[in-house]
């Protein structure tokens, strides 16, 4: 049973035209405000960090490799993913108006899951790229041509948004008995529990779709990394093994956060997941994970750090 109760009023189901996002209602208002400002700082750092990666890949020719192309696309996605959930919450805090229309809530829910789905497909593409680079180094340039890289990225975006296209019409058919959502975004669990309609079918559809996306992506990525592991173990020199593992280490860190949190939340039965757990996982996915990505990919990548130092040096000479 959830620790927090929803505001329910069945007789007013048809009167609900907007939701009230309560954020973290169990926290003291001052603590909640401080926590929200910390999240805002993390969000701004996320946007600046990921935008820097995109800028460096576009400007520096030595970074225009398939791997860096995929990293820049992931960085672009990591700007939009937290923006789809966090900006509205920060606007509500600053203005004191924490209401959200039904259409805005449904749109936020759709974009959040569509972008998340796109990210999982993109992570599989990045794992495929790494497996080709390490398992077939002599054929890497022939296989990972620019045309193929563009097609893979476009396919990831199209698949992500297409697979979640059922959400908007399904959500728009629901009626609601309450308006207070003890969350900072319109996630499935708190939204469905406010509904007066029968959501059992929608729960099942969501469980099947999300489980297929998350577990399918996880298994595909795991298969690529098993191939990488076997190839690394057969490398003759220890230095070669170290270089190969270093190349993949940053990717493995992001994978552990992304898959670990989402498998714990979206592949478990809905009744087994509390609201507090839901919000913690949502924070990991929408705030912490995008926040860490620029640091993981820049600090762990010598080419990116070299390009960053060059750009800073150029800026200083111009000033």
Residue numbers of the domain that contains 22: 10-318
Residue 179 falls inside a structural domain: yes
Residue 1 falls inside a structural domain: no
More confident call, 173 vs 235: 173
Q: How many CB atoms lie within 10 A of CB 95?
A: 8
pLDDT for the residue numbered 9: 45
Per-residue pLDDT, averaged over 2-17, amounts to: 51
Residue 29 falls inside a structural domain: yes
pLDDT for the residue numbered 249: 72
Q: What is the pLDDT of residues 264-282, one digit of tens each?
A: 777 665 555 677 777 888 8
Residue 259 C-alpha from the chain's centroid: 10
Among 87, 116, 118, CA closest to 104: 87
Q: What is the spatial distance between Cα 153 and Cα 70, in angstroms, rounded to a whole number?
A: 8
Q: What is the spatial distance between Cα 167 and Cα 78, in angstroms, rounded to a whole number?
A: 22
Strands annotated E in 64-134: 99-101
CATH value at residue 116: 1.20.1070.10
Give the H or E element holding residue 19. Answer: strand 18-21
Residue 190 falls inside a structural domain: yes
pLDDT for the residue numbered 150: 96
pLDDT for the residue numbered 315: 77
Phi, psi of 19 (to 5 degrees): -110, 155
More confident call, 241 vs 55: 55
Task: For residue 84, give Cα distances in angstroms to 81, 112, 287.
Answer: 5, 6, 11
Q: pLDDT at residue 294 above 60?
A: yes
Residue 239: band (very low, low, confident or very high) from pLDDT cuts 50, 70, 90: low
pLDDT for the residue numbered 4: 42
Residue 5 falls inside a structural domain: no
Among 258, 271, 275, CA closest to 214: 258
Residue 3 falls inside a structural domain: no
Residue 1: band (very low, low, confident or very high) from pLDDT cuts 50, 70, 90: very low
Q: Are 196 and 176 a contacting pair, CB within 8 Å? A: yes
Residue 4 falls inside a structural domain: no
Instruction: Spell out the residues 6+ positions from residue 2 whose beta carbon is closer than 8 angstroms to its own.
Output: 193, 274, 275, 276
- State the total domains in the chain: 1
pLDDT for the residue numbered 92: 73
pTM of the model: 0.85
Q: How many CB atoms lie within 10 A of CB 34?
A: 12
Residue 304 falls inside a structural domain: yes
């Amino acid at each position: 049973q959830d620790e927090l109760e929803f505001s329910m009023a069945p007789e007013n189901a048809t009167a609900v035209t907007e939701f009230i996002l309560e954020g973290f209602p169990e926290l003291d208002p001052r603590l909640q405000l401080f926590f929200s400002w910390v999240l805002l700082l993390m969000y701004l750092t996320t946007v600046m960090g990921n935008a820097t990666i995109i800028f460096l890949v576009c400007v520096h020719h030595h970074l225009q490799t398939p791997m860096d192309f995929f990293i820049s696309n992931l960085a672009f996605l990591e700007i939009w993913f937290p923006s789809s959930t966090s900006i509205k919450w920060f606007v509500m805090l600053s203005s004191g108006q924490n209401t959200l229309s039904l259409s805005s809530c449904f749109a936020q829910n759709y974009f959040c899951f569509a972008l998340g789905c796109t990210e999982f497909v993109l992570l599989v593409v990045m794992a495929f790229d790494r497996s080709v680079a390490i398992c077939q180094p002599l054929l890497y340039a022939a296989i990972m041509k620019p045309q193929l890289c563009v097609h893979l990225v476009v396919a990831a975006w199209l698949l992500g948004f297409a697979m979640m296209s059922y959400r908007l019409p399904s959500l728009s058919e629901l009626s609601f008995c309450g308006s207070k959502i003890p969350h900072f975004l319109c996630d499935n669990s708190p939204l469905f529990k406010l509904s007066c309609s029968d959501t059992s079918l929608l729960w099942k559809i969501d469980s099947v779709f999300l489980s297929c996306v998350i577990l399918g992506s996880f298994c595909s990525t795991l298969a690529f990394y098993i191939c990488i592991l076997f190839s690394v173990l057969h490398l003759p020199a220890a230095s070669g093994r170290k270089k190969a593992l270093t190349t993949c280490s940053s990717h493995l860190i992001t994978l552990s956060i992304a898959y670990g949190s989402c498998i714990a939340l979206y592949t478990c039965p809905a009744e087994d997941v509390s609201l507090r757990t839901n919000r913690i996982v949502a924070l990991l996915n929408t705030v912490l994970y995008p926040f860490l990505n620029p640091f993981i990919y820049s600090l762990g990548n010598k080419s990116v750090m070299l390009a960053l130092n060059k750009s800073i040096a150029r800026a200083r000479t111009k000033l």
